[in-house]
Amino acid sequence: MPLEAPLRPVAERAAELNARYRGHGAVSVLEHALGDPEVGRVALVSSFGAESVVLLHLISIMDRTTPVLFIDTEMLFEETMHYQRDLADRLRLTDLRVIRPDRGAIFAEDPDALLHRRDPDACCALRKTRPLARALEGFDAWITGRKRYQGATRASLDLFESEDGRRIKINPLAHWSRDDLRAYMDNNALPRHPLAARGYPSIGCRPCTTRVRPGEDPRAGRWRGQAKQECGIHFVNGQARRDAPPRGESR
């Protein structure tokens, strides 16, 4: 068999994809991501959180064999774990991979399960960032559920990003609003995360997630009272993305 041609540099492909798909909808972007050899081997990374069902449903329609990576930090809400199992079964996802932190690293770095109090960044790295990095080895791209409306660090998201030149990060829902998400869930009769109706629009680990009050930023309940907005899996060169919007476009 002939050898596959190597993929072009990540930044070059991401820029070209953004130019080609600027103005296209989520379905078009996702279909392209799943089928274009220029994108390469793709996985969906899902938290099975308050809005995750939209992308998971789209994937189940387009190609339910797509690898779905779920990070069980071992500090999640029980409601999230039940929702993950029920939703994966309902959507008939055939390649769900549950990713957990390394046991030896847990014993060495967080034996009392209180690292989140002492150093929340180190806890996220131990339980989420490093396990995901290992799980993504072998993939050329991954799909995220990030949206621009979710806060300042995400206000200028592109549909396609270069992740430190290693792989492409795909954000099909970047331009969707909360109303778009609700309408899609309603129109497709999709089950909600049980905590969403109880004031949790953004759901992470149990110790570091609180309810959000009316009028607050949707992610205000994550690491409340701390100078922390992201867990680290969406950092580029150690920093959360805060790129300026393309010339001629507004936020």
Active site positions, annotated: 231
Residue 100 makes CB contacts below 8 A (sequence gap 6+) with 71, 72, 73, 74, 131
Q: What are the helix (H) ranges across the chain?
A: 10-21, 26-35, 53-63, 78-91, 103-109, 115-118, 120-124, 130-135, 178-187
Q: What is the 3-state secondary structure (H, E, C) of 173-207?
A: CCCCCHHHHHHHHHHCCCCCCCCHHHCCCCCCEHH
Strands 68-71 and 42-45 turn out to be: parallel
What tokens appear for 168 in the block? 């492409």
Closest-CA residue to 91 (of 61, 46, 50): 61
Closest-CA residue to 55 (of 80, 34, 72): 34
Question: How many whole angstroms separate alpha carbon 143 and alpha carbon 130?
Answer: 18
CB 16 within 8 A of CB 161: no
Compute CA 249 distance to the chain's CA centroid, rounded to the nearest angstrom. Answer: 24
Closest-CA residue to 73 (of 194, 206, 193, 209): 206
Question: How many whole angstroms separate alpha carbon 240 and alpha carbon 231?
Answer: 9
